[in-house]
Chains A and B, each alone.
Chain A
Amino acid sequence: MNADQNDCLELYGHQFPSRLLLGTSRYPSPAVLESCIQESKPAMVTASLRRQGANPEQISSGFWDILKKLNVPILPNTAGCHRPEEVIQVAHMAREVFETDWIKLELIGDDYTLQPDTLHLVATAERLIKDGFKVLPYCTDDLILCQGLVDVGCQAIMPWAAPIGTGKGPINPYALKLLRERISVPMIIDAGLGLPSHATMVLEWGYDGVLLNTAVALAHNPIKMANAFAGAVKAGREAFLAGAMLEHEQAQASTPNLGIPFWHQS
């Protein structure tokens, strides 16, 4: 199967031609951000909300103009929210401002690791779903947490590979592989990826997509890196669809042994 043409990412009944979701922060300039989006053609780009005047550079009309110009689907986040009620309020604001029901649910439980508040995440997701949102929750790789999110109606979830912005890649492959076996809804690896090979790896494991930001934005050449990630995601997905060979403990010759020249002649 050609992953480019016949294999779409499906979230909440919507189909997306790409399996890459791209964050919009920390780029060297709005122009570079725009080029990265054009190069990588992500399924969605993430955005956030902040007070007007709080950060004039970020709140320039340039960012909004880019989003409107490129007409790429927007996934608003609730970044920085530490209490469920904050999440709910920001989500409702985002729905009005961005004119979308999609929401990346971020409920931060620890400022040092930016680990999600796993004790309140499920109830918060449930409330957003009841309010009509299409919730994509940022979560850990904890199986019971992820199952809880699915049970309250999340039709896709987004476990981390590593803490946000670390670029470490999957720090617990065992947990992520097990999670993929046990959870049947689409899963997008969100946070912690640093290299295109990390993206390829998780797609090979059967994950449905990746969401990344810093790995592209802080690359020496973000535009090239955006393109590299787009290719890596396609490669990983095609490999998953192709089905990998079984790993062996011992060497197995690729070239046939029969008829080896000079065999037993000395």
Chain B
Amino acid sequence: MQVIINLEPFQTSAKHLQELISEITPKSPFGIAKNGTFIPKSAYLETQVQDGDKIEVISPVTGG
């Protein structure tokens, strides 16, 4: 199936978010949102990944 990660298409067979994260290995620290909703770390394992899901992987940046 195909998901969108940070606006880019990504092919995966991951069943849940934890599995997807282990495939993409984001740089720590990071946070995840799925389809516009923040997913806390504690919910990665129970959050299913489905075709067409939009995943945001975010990191600290400078800010004012």
Contacts and interface: CB of A to CB of B under 8 A. Distances in A.
From B26, B36, B64, name the one whose CB has the most chain A CB atoms within 10 angstroms.
Answer: B64
A27 B63 CA distance: 11
Contacts of A33: 62
Interface residues of B, number: 22
A84 to B, nearest CB: 13
A224 B26 CA distance: 37
B45 interface: no
Contacts of B7: 51
Contacts, number: 95
Contacts of B29: 64, 97-98
A49 interface: yes
B6 A54 contact: yes
Interface centre among A52, A55, A165 (most CB of B within 10 A): A52
A112 B6 CA distance: 26
B64 A50 contact: no
Residue among A23, A27, A97 with the highest chain B CB neighbour number at 10 A: A97
Interface in B15-40: 26-27, 29-31, 33, 36-38, 40
B2 interface: no
Contacts of B62: 23-27, 33, 47-48, 58, 63
A256 interface: no
Interface of A: 23-27, 33, 46-55, 58-59, 61, 63-64, 67, 76-77, 79, 85, 89, 92-94, 96-98, 164-165, 213-214
5 contacts: A51-B57, A52-B6, A85-B36, A96-B38, A165-B64
Interface of B: 6-7, 26-27, 29-31, 33, 36-38, 40-41, 56-64
